[in-house]
């Protein structure tokens, strides 16, 4: 999982919707990340929908995925797709459940025994905990602002560099929310994720997690 | 003979006016002992208790040291209630990082690179070399059109999942999951069945424990090194493992340390107790301040003995020094005899020395010869003990005959023993002999039930805490510490691998052992790999595999995969693959996983296969060994058996030789059957009652008390020699009392030994108490009656005069 930081930045973008009080214009990368970290402190839960468009070399046609996510601090996460097929996972600490097609047919798993997923989840959680240093160790961060604010992340670690070209996160002009996350891979694969109906600190039903 | 034995009386006369020179000379030697003693470096390495000759036992021991887990410390960290797995694994990683030189050379908390993507790629690359024809049949059975369709459906979903970015490359390389067939080959190398690999660390099947395996250069038999190792490890555990995580560790060192600790405590207790007993006996029976010089004889003999060992051997074993308690009890006998002989009346001391020298020297000679046979033992510890005892005895005899007479009070000034302190009066007439004969009969009858326990392990004293740790480790990780090893050795790597491959194939046909742990499936010989490659290519190019590929392409297109989606897989199938070699493993960082199994020897290579150490496995190996020449079976239990057999046969020989030499010397001394028979009565009584008593007490004859039986023969024959000399020579000195007191001192020394915690020491104590406990009354009561009966047939009874 060293090479799949993309979704982590999806959430990174989501959490930065708490930037309302921060003046965004011309903020250097480090400062922007610091502002994001500060914004994280007030987030206890998150929920929202997403639409993801994947264009993969391995597939003849682009695929459009729709789904939703829930997060409860510090270590509960649910990530699920509704279409084209239902699948997803939910976690409480290192106890997890996973399903494919039928959400009622849940397969329990130990996160420690699923290294790929663990890497994905670790990155999300480390972001939520505001580990700016970790992000900067892994990515070069640059910020640009025209009609909207963009954060461009390029990997530093060779293993990630070999797979990932860049990640572009587009914020709204006032940094209140993330509009899209665009992941470009070296082989030409791209994923574009658009977030909608994001809610910060909503009540989240504990039954959604194992 | 007479002129020789007068050397002591003449020496007495010579030194009487020059005592200061004699004392100064003796003092000088004692100071020399003291100076040399300070240089002695005591080693507590219990290897001295194991054979060091060229026997099978020695070879096995050396091979055992090369077993994968022989020098490993297994550390188990277990999560307490409520402890998360992640926290447990963090603690394991933290502890393993904290362990290092000089006590640990390599610390492993997981398979390392094995769990990395490199392994997966390596497996895919190596499939043509590893997959056998039987595997191809299984692959073929698994690849049906419907299974391929289902597999591609699942693969499509995985691509869309958040982890798809990470998995994509591997899914392109192996859409049919052929790597699973390669990966299962690695199961054959896993000595921990059921263990999971989580975050590159070992995690037990129940998820509650993690394992650290640490290589140490400290020898398993090194007590001091083992002790420091344990202290170091415990200190690291206390510092790096949170209190809610329980840590247990086990290694051969813990057994060594536990055993040696008990022996060490015992040795000091035994020496203290036996010294105290000696003092009490002296106070009761000798009752003169100059009797203190008698006590100095055994004490100084310890110095002489230790220095002799220091001069002869490169290192002095603590176990040998522990034998000092026994030496104290034996060497004091000579001084006691001199004391009582000189205190017996108004005789001229020179004349007394003339009388006592002969039995004293002969009794010393018998004891010395009993120990001398141990010089030929296969156990270095026993050889050291022999030199130690012989040097101590020679010194004790020399001091007793040359120096002690000058130090003792003049005749008539010594204490007169009261009736209660005198030796027991003899049992009159034939009743004593009858009772003795009955006791002998019972003893001989009892010997039939005597058991023999040749297991060295039975002589170990292991604390419950160590046993519990061993049991828990075994329950959590399987019995990996008690595996046996089958070793294939050959001049070339290819030949060793070929032999190992053949062994593995043969073991698969046996019902036991199940699941041998071997590198054979992962590292077949090059010749075998070539066969595999040929079959692999034929299958995918022209066989049923080609049809499966057509199905794959068809179904992939139907599901929505692009035409080149699985091109990396197809390219891999058509690629020429080089054979797997040692370099291949090294280049991919996988060499460490071969280390436990593969090693270079002076003459070539050896490849190990691990199997359960059970009698059934040994039988299975016996069935195979004819078809596998040069292959060796090495196991702890086999080693124990071999050592036990070797040592037992060794000791049995020595027992017979010691008895023969003692009998010969006694016969040489008396030269008449009427004197020889009573003289051996204490020895016969001692041996018979010892063996019968052991049978009655349910005490088996073991490797420890076999040595004690040599001692019983050597000591009890002395009583016979003194008593017969006294009876036949008509001496007036208190031989009977001297025998009684020296018997008491010996008994007190061994009674202290019998109270020891360590089974090896206490069994020696009990055995000798039984033997000497019978030899002493036989010498005091039975011998005189038998002697008189003999004399009634054809001799003169001086004793009755």
Give pLDDT tens digits for B551-569.
Answer: 999 999 999 999 999 999 9
CA separation for the pair B192, B194 (Å, rounded): 6
Residue B392 pLDDT > 90, yes or no? yes
* pLDDT tens per residue across span B495-552: 999 999 999 988 877 766 667 889 999 999 999 999 999 999 999 998 899 999 999 9
What are the chain A neighbours of B162 within 8 Å (beta carbons)? 4, 6-7, 79, 117, 120
Site from B160, B205, B208, B562 to mutate, A interface, most A CB atoms within 10 angstroms: B160
- Supply the pLDDT for residue B71: 74
Which pLDDT band, with edges at 50, 70 and 90, does B146 fall under? very high
Q: Cis peptide leading into A144, omega within 30 of 0?
A: no
What are the chain B neighbours of A191 within 8 Å (beta carbons)? 165
CB contact under 8 A, A113 and B168: no
* pLDDT tens per residue across span B283-323: 888 777 777 788 888 889 988 998 998 888 887 777 677 67
CB contact under 8 A, B165 and A185: yes
Residue B147 pLDDT > 80, yes or no? yes
3-state secondary structure of A109: strand
Per-residue b/e over B543-569, b at no fewer than 16 CB within 10 Å? eebeebbebbeebbeeeebeeebbebb
Per-residue b/e over B722-761, b at no fewer than 16 CB within 10 Å? bbbbbbbbebebbbbbbbbbbbbbbbbbbbbbbebebebb
Among B84, B85, B565, the residue with its CB nearest the CB of A58 is B565
Distance from CA of A209 to the nearest CA of B (A): 17
Site from A11, A58, A87 to mutate, B interface, most B CB atoms within 10 angstroms: A58
* DSSP strand pairing (B245-250 vs B106-108): unpaired
Q: Which residue has the higher pLDDT, B398 or B757?
A: B398
According to DSSP, the residues that pair with A151 across neighbouring strands are A143, A169
What are the chain B neighbours of A57 within 8 Å (beta carbons)? 562, 564-565
- Planar angle of CA B211, B213, B219, nearest 5 degrees: 145
Q: Are B353 and B405 in contact (CB under 8 A)?
A: yes
A189 touches chain B (CB under 8 A): yes
The chain A residue lying nearest B202, using CA atoms, is: A113
What are the chain A neighbours of B161 within 8 Å (beta carbons)? 87
Among B199, B560, B564, the residue with its CB nearest the CB of A61 is B560
* pLDDT tens per residue across span B31-65: 998 898 888 877 766 666 677 776 676 777 777 76
The chain B residue lying nearest A120, using CA atoms, is: B163
Q: Are B302 and B325 in contact (CB under 8 A)?
A: no
Site from B163, B209, B559 to mutate, A interface, most A CB atoms within 10 angstroms: B163
Among A3, A60, A115, the residue with its CB nearest the CB of B561 is A60
Q: Are A113 and B196 in contact (CB under 8 A)?
A: yes
Which pLDDT band, with edges at 50, 70 and 90, does B68 fall under? low
CA separation for the pair B746, B681 (Å, rounded): 18
* Length of chain B, in residues: 801
Residue B796 pLDDT > 50, yes or no? no
What are the chain B neighbours of A115 within 8 Å (beta carbons)? 115, 199
The number of CA neighbours under 13 Å toward the Cβ of A43 is 30
Distance from CA of B563 to the nearest CA of A (A): 8
Least confident of B72-81, B228-237, B458-467: B458-467
According to the per-residue pLDDT averaged within each range, which of B126-130, B217-221, B272-276 is highest? B126-130
3-state secondary structure of B585: helix
- Supply the pLDDT for residue B322: 67
- Supply the pLDDT for residue B3: 64
- Supply the pLDDT for residue B170: 87
B65 token code pair: 């040291």
Q: Of chain A residues 18-77, which have a CB less than 8 A from chain B?
A: 54, 56-61, 63, 65
Closest CA relative to residue B13, chosen from B336, B350, B457:
B350
A100 touches chain B (CB under 8 A): yes
Largest CA distance in chain A: 49
Which pLDDT band, with edges at 50, 70 and 90, does A150 fall under? confident
Question: At how many degrees (to 10) do helices B464-477 and B252-285 cross?
Answer: 170
Residue B436 pLDDT > 80, yes or no? yes
A86 touches chain B (CB under 8 A): no
- Asked whether the ipTM of the predicted complex exceeds the cut of 0.90, the reply is no
What are the chain B neighbours of A189 within 8 Å (beta carbons)? 165, 168
CA torsion sign for A114, A116, A120, A126 is positive
Residue whose tokens read 């930045």? A9
CB contact under 8 A, A7 and B162: yes
Residue B671 pLDDT > 50, yes or no? yes
Which pLDDT band, with edges at 50, 70 and 90, does B732 fall under? low
A162 touches chain B (CB under 8 A): no
- Supply the pLDDT for residue B492: 93
Among B86, B159, B161, the residue with its CB nearest the CB of A112 is B86
C-alpha dist (Å) from residue B581 to B135, B194, B433, B528:
21, 29, 81, 12
A119 touches chain B (CB under 8 A): yes
Q: Which residue has the higher pLDDT, B688 or B462?
A: B688
- Supply the pLDDT for residue B302: 86
Among A58, A84, A116, the residue with its CB nearest the CB of B166 is A116
- Supply the pLDDT for residue B421: 43
Residue B267 pLDDT > 70, yes or no? yes
* DSSP strand pairing (A190-200 vs A178-185): antiparallel
* DSSP strand pairing (B42-43 vs B316-317): parallel
Distance from CA of B121 to the nearest CA of A (A): 15
Which pLDDT band, with edges at 50, 70 and 90, does A19 fall under? very low
Q: pTM value?
A: 0.67
Residue A77 pLDDT > 50, yes or no? yes
CB contact under 8 A, A1 and B163: yes
CA separation for the pair B554, B308 (Å, rounded): 89
Average pLDDT over residues B411-425: 47
Which pLDDT band, with edges at 50, 70 and 90, does B571 fall under? very high
| Summary mean pLDDT of chain B | 83
What are the chain B neighbours of A163 within 8 Å (beta carbons)? 165, 169
CA separation for the pair B495, B364 (Å, rounded): 59
CA separation for the pair B758, B318 (Å, rounded): 15
Average pLDDT over residues B267-290: 80
Which regions of B500-648 does DSSP assign to beta strands (E)?
598-601, 604-612, 632-634
CB contact under 8 A, B161 and A87: yes
Residue B185 pLDDT > 70, yes or no? yes
Q: Which residue has the higher pLDDT, B578 or B378?
A: B578
According to DSSP, the residues that pair with A129 across neighbouring strands are none
Per-residue b/e over B96-115, b at no fewer than 16 CB within 10 Å? bebbeeebbeebbbbbebbb
CB contact under 8 A, B560 and A60: yes
Among A81, A117, A164, the residue with its CB nearest the CB of B163 is A117
The chain B residue lying nearest A80, using CA atoms, is: B161
CB contact under 8 A, B203 and A112: yes
A118 touches chain B (CB under 8 A): yes
- Supply the pLDDT for residue B348: 77
According to DSSP, the residues that pair with A87 across neighbouring strands are A81, A100
C-alpha dist (Å) from residue A129 to A74, A78, A120, A133, B300:
8, 17, 15, 11, 75
Average pLDDT over residues A86-104: 87
CA B676 to chain centre: 40
Q: Which residue has the higher pLDDT, A17 or B232?
A: B232
């Amino acid at each position: 999982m060293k090479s799949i930081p993309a979704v982590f930045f999806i959430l990174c973008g989501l959490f930065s919707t708490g930037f309302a009080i921060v003046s965004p214009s011309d903020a250097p990368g480090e400062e922007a990340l610091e502002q994001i970290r500060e914004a994280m402190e007030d987030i206890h839960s998150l929920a929202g929908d997403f639409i993801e468009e994947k264009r993969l070399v391995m597939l003849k046609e682009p695929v459009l995925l729709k789904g939703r996510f829930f997060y409860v601090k510090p270590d509960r996460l649910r990530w699920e797709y509704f279409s084209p097929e239902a699948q997803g996972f939910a976690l409480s600490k290192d106890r997890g459940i996973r399903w494919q097609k039928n959400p009622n047919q849940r397969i329990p798993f130990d996160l420690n025994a699923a290294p790929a997923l663990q890497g994905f989840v670790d990155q999300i959680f480390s972001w939520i905990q505001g580990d700016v240093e970790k992000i900067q160790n892994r990515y070069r961060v640059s910020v640009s602002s025209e009609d909207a604010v963009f954060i461009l992340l390029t990997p530093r670690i060779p293993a990630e560099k070999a797979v990932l070209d860049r990640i572009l996160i587009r914020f709204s002009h006032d940094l209140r929310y993330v509009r899209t996350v665009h992941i470009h891979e070296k082989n030409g694969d791209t994923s574009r994720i658009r977030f909608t109906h994001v809610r910060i600190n909503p009540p989240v039903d504990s039954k959604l997690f194992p | 003979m007479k002129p020789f034995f007068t050397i002591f009386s003449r020496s007495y006369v010579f030194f009487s006016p020059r005592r200061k020179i004699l004392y100064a000379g003796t003092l000088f030697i004692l100071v020399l002992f003291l100076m040399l003693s300070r240089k002695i470096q005591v080693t507590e390495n219990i290897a001295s208790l194991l054979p060091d000759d060229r026997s099978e036992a020695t070879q096995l021991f050396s091979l055992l040291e090369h077993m994968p887990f022989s020098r490993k410390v297994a550390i188990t960290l277990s999560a307490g209630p409520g402890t998360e797995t992640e926290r447990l694994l963090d603690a394991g990683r933290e502890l393993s990082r904290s362990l290092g030189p000089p006590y640990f050379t390599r610390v492993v908390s997981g398979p390392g690179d094995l769990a990395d993507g490199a392994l997966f790629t390596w497996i895919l690359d190596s499939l043509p070399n590893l997959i056998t024809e039987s595997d191809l049949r299984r692959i073929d059975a698994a690849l049906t059109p419907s299974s391929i369709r289902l597999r591609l459906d699942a693969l499509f979903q995985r691509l869309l999942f958040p982890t798809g970015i990470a998995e994509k490359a591997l899914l392109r390389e192996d859409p049919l999951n052929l790597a699973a067939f390669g990966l299962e080959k690695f199961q054959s190398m896993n000595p921990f069945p059921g263990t999971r690999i989580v975050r590159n660390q070992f995690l037990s099947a129940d998820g509650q424990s993690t394992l650290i395996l640490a290589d140490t250069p400290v020898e398993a038999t090194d007590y001091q090194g083992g002790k420091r190792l344990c202290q170091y490890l415990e200190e690291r555990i206390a510092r790096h493992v949170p209190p809610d995580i329980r840590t247990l560790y086990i290694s051969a060192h813990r057994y060594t340390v536990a055993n040696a600790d008990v022996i060490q405590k015992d040795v000091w207790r035994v020496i203290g107790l036996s010294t105290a007993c000696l003092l009490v006996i002296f106070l009761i029976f000798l009752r003169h301040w100059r009797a203190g010089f008698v006590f100095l004889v055994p004490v100084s003999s310890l110095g002489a003995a230790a220095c002799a060992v220091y001069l002869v051997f490169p290192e002095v074993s603590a176990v040998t020094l522990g034998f000092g308690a026994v030496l104290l009890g034996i060497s004091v006998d000579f001084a006691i005899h001199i004391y009582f002989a000189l205190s017996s009346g108004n005789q001229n001391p020179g004349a007394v020395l003339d009388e006592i020298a002969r039995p004293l020297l002969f009794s010393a000679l018998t004891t010395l010869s009993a120990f001398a046979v141990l010089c030929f033992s296969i156990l270095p510890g026993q050889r050291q003990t022999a030199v130690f005892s012989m040097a101590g005895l020679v010194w004790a005899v020399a001091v007793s005959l040359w120096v002690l007479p000058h130090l003792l009070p003049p005749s008539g000034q010594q204490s007169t023993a009261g009736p209660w302190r005198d030796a027991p009066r003899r049992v009159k007439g034939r009743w004593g002999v009858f009772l003795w004969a009955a006791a002998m009969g019972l003893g001989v009858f009892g010997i039939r039930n005597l058991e023999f326990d040749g297991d060295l392990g039975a002589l170990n004293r292991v604390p419950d805490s160590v046993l519990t740790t061993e049991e828990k480790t075994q329950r959590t990780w399987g019995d990996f510490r008690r595996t046996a090893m089958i070793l294939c050795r050959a001049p070339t790597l290819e030949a060793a691998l070929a032999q190992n491959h053949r062994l593995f194939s043969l073991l698969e046909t046996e019902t036991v052992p199940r699941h041998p742990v071997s590198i054979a499936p992962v590292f077949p010989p090059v010749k075998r790999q070539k066969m595999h490659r040929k079959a692999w290519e034929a299958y995918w190019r022209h066989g049923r595999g080609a049809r499966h590929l057509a199905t794959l392409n068809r179904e992939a297109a139907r599901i929505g995969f692009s035409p080149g989606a699985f091109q990396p897989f197809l390219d891999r199938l058509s690629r020429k693959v080089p054979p797997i070699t040692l370099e291949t493993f090294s280049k991919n960082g996988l060499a460490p996983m071969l280390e436990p199994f593969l090693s270079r020897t002076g003459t070539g290579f050896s490849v190990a296969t691990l199997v359960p150490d059970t009698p059934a496995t040994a039988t299975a190996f016996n069935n195979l060994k004819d078809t596998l020449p040069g292959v060796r079976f090495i196991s702890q239990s086999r080693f124990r058996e071999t050592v036990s057999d070797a040592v037992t046969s060794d000791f049995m020989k020595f027992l017979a030789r010691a008895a023969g030499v003692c009998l010969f010397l006694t016969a040489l001394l008396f030269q008449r059957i009427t004197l020889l028979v009573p003289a051996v009565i204490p020895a016969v009584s001692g041996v018979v009652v010892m063996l019968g008593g052991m049978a009655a007490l349910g005490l088996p004859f073991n490797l420890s008390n076999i040595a004690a039986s040599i001692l019983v023969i050597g000591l009890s024959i002395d009583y016979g020699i003194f008593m017969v000399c006294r009876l036949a020579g008509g001496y007036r000195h208190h031989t009977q009392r001297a025998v009684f007191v020296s018997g008491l001192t010996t008994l007190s020394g061994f009674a202290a030994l019998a109270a020891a915690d360590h089974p090896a020491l206490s069994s020696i104590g009990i055995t000798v108490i039984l033997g000497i406990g019978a030899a002493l009354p036989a010498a005091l009561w039975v011998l005189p009656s038998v002697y008189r009966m003999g004399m009634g047939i054809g001799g003169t009874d001086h004793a009755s005069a």
